[in-house]
Amino acid sequence: MKPEKILFIVLDGLGDHAYRELDGLTPLEKAYTSEVKKLKDNGSQGLMDVISPGVPPSSDVSHLVMFGYDIEKEYFGRGPIEALGEGVELKEGEIAFRGNLATVRIENNYPIVIDRRAGRISSEQTRELVDYLNNEIECPEGCKVVFKPLS
């Protein structure tokens, strides 16, 4: 029996919070939903408790579970997923981490994160900061760190 082809659409972030950038609306409230309604009316849909009822998982965990991974045995983090999505090929022995540029203030010699997205700076500003990090970070011999600006 030939497997049936499907189009699997994940509305990631659909149940998100309201954002100032969206005039105080949630992504769903701001979205033009006529096409989503057509998909709903002509397809199948459902809800899934990825971990257990009432436990909100991260996006990476949700996607891995939906695609059949057992996250207790195969969880490898969001870094490799983001790298793959941007066309970065990891070779044997390489590790991909994911992080955000953030804004901090120093209190009592301790950094306090005041904006975990650095004010949602532009792509150009992100590239400038990443170039700076690539030029300034020194690693022990045999170790190389490369920062890449991803979306």
Burial of 64 (0-12, 13-18, 19+ CB in 10 A): buried
Torsion angle of C-alpha atoms 96, 9, 72, 50, degrees rounded to 10:
130
For residue 109, report the phi and psi dihedrals to the nearest 5 degrees. Answer: 60, 25
Lowest model confidence (mean pLDDT) among 7-21, 48-62, 71-85: 7-21
Question: Above pLDDT 90, what percent of the chain?
Answer: 27
At residue 8, the pLDDT reads 80
The count of C-alpha atoms lying within 13 angstroms of the C-alpha of 7, restricted to the half-sphere facing its C-beta, is 6
In this structure, the number of other CB atoms found within 10 A of the CB of residue 39 comes to 14
Residue 46 has pLDDT above 90, yes or no: no
Model confidence at 151, pLDDT cuts 50, 70, 90, reads low
**What whole-number distance in Å separates Cα of residue 13 and Cα of residue 53?**
18
Of 8, 25, 9, the residue nearest 17 (C-alpha) = 25
Higher pLDDT, 33 or 69: 69
**What whole-number distance in Å separates Cα of residue 52 and Cα of residue 38?**
30
Lowest model confidence (mean pLDDT) among 33-37, 102-106, 112-116, 122-126: 33-37
Q: What is the pLDDT of residues 56-83, one digit of tens each?
A: 888 888 888 888 899 889 888 889 988 8
pTM of the model: 0.61
Question: Above pLDDT 70, what percent of the chain?
Answer: 99
Residue 147 has pLDDT above 80, yes or no: yes
Residue 14 has pLDDT above 80, yes or no: no
C-alpha of 91 from chain center: 21
